[in-house]
Amino acid sequence: MQHLAVIMDGNGRWAQKRHLPRLMGHRAGADALDRTMHWCKEAGIKYLTVYAFSTENWKRSEDEVSGLMKLLSHFIKSKEKELVENGVAFRVIGRRTDLSEKLQKEIAALEEKTKGGDFTLIVALSYGGRDEIVRAAERLFEKWRRGNMPRREDQVLTRQDAASPIDEQTFASCLDTAGIPDPDLIIRTSGELRLSNFLLWQAAYAEFYFTDVLWPDFDKAEFDKAIASFSKRDRRMGGRGK
Ligand code: IPE
Ligand code: IPE
Ligand code: MG
């Protein structure tokens, strides 16, 4: 497996069970992310994508949103040294312009400093699969308008047309995940059985692993279970399989 993606869900319920504020659940979730990154590296996985904040999560209370943004900013600042020392490249996918200018700058600086790491941590922030696809279409259109794409005048290009410059590869190169292989396995914690707008394009042939464990409780035993389950899957990709 090259790429593991995780929908880190259940922080709120974890806190509620302990009569703690929701933000304490998110803090405990950040620790679970630290551990998971370590296990991924040990297992030889090259990419870990985590869903940290969706385009829909802005609907939450101002308190929770600002607490989460502070936590993210803290994560970025406090992790720099560790990520650099451990060869971890940091990358953010999502609608960055929604974030404060300060946070945008911190992200860009960390991405620059960690460039070239042999393990990549991708954080989905103000991320929605549909939003990403719409932004990719906008980028594609912009390329087309500037003449950066093969173009034949006076012709309506369709997918059937061999000359159409837009194929899946071209489209994927306009997504935030350009250059990152599709996820092999997507884990969702906390018992919810849905994607909630995560990696819609990229999940086309991903395997799924759902567990009732709440994200802050995600431990090595559960990680191993997910990997073992994945290794038993027959990924036919539309073909005839093993
Ligand atoms: C996931 O935990 C983290 C974020 C969405 C930011 P939740 O906050 O959704 O936790 P639950 O689902 O309410 O338990
Ligand atoms: C998905 O969890 C987003 C993240 C884990 C960041 P949500 O808790 O927001 O999803 P729903 O609302 O249960 O679908
Ligand atoms: Mg949730």
- The Cα–Cα gap between 58 and 72 comes to 15
Catalytic residues: 9, 57
Residue 164, C-beta contacts closer than 8 angstroms, at least 6 positions apart: 157, 158
If you measure from the C-alpha of residue 178 to the centroid of ligand 2, how many angstroms do you get, rounded to a whole number?
24
Could you tell me whether strands 88-93 and 47-54 are parallel, antiparallel, or unpaired per DSSP bridges? unpaired
The CATH number covering residue 202 comes to 3.40.1180.10
Ligand 1 neighbours by CB, cut-off 6 Å: 8-13, 53, 57, 68, 190
Q: Which atom of ligand 1 is nearest to the CA of 52?
A: 6
| Ligand index nearest the alpha carbon of residue 213 | 1
- The Cα–Cα gap between 133 and 213 comes to 31
Number of domains in the chain: 1
If you measure from the C-alpha of residue 9 to the centroid of ligand 2, how many angstroms do you get, rounded to a whole number?
6
* Structural domain span for residue 9: 3-128+181-231
Q: Which atom of ligand 2 is nearest to the CA of 192?
A: 13
Nearest CA to ligand 2 atom 12: 196
Nearest CA to ligand 1 atom 1: 9
Q: Is residue 146 part of a domain?
A: no
- The Cα–Cα gap between 67 and 231 comes to 38
Pocket of ligand 2 contains residue 9 by CB under 6 Å: yes
Pocket of ligand 2 contains residue 15 by CB under 6 Å: no
Q: Is residue 242 part of a domain?
A: no
Q: Which two tokens stand for residue 21?
A: 């504020």
Q: Is residue 137 part of a domain?
A: no
Q: Is residue 88 part of a domain?
A: yes
Nearest CA to ligand 2 atom 8: 9
Q: What is the pLDDT of residue 128?
A: 98
DSSP annotation of 149: S
Q: Is residue 106 part of a domain?
A: yes
DSSP annotation of 190: T
Nearest CA to ligand 2 atom 10: 196
SS (H, E, C) 49-97: EEEEEECCHHHCCHHHHHHHHHHHHHHHHHHHHHHHHCCEEEEEECCHH
The tens-digit pLDDT sequence of the chain (242 residues) is 999 999 999 999 999 999 999 999 999 999 999 999 999 999 999 999 999 999 999 999 999 999 999 999 999 999 999 999 999 999 999 999 999 999 999 999 999 999 999 999 999 999 999 999 999 999 999 998 888 776 555 455 555 555 677 899 999 999 999 999 999 999 999 999 999 999 999 999 999 999 999 999 999 999 999 999 999 999 999 998 77
If you measure from the C-alpha of residue 233 to the centroid of ligand 2, how many angstroms do you get, rounded to a whole number?
26
> Ligand 1, residues 9, 33, 59, 127: which to mutate, most atoms within 8 A of Cβ?
9
Q: Is residue 161 part of a domain?
A: no
Q: Is residue 238 part of a domain?
A: no
H-run or E-run covering 137: helix 129-145
A 10 A CB-CB count for 81 gives: 9
Q: Is residue 145 part of a domain?
A: no
- The Cα–Cα gap between 17 and 5 comes to 26
Q: Is 46 exposed, middle or buried (0-12, 13-18, 19+ CB in 10 A)?
A: middle
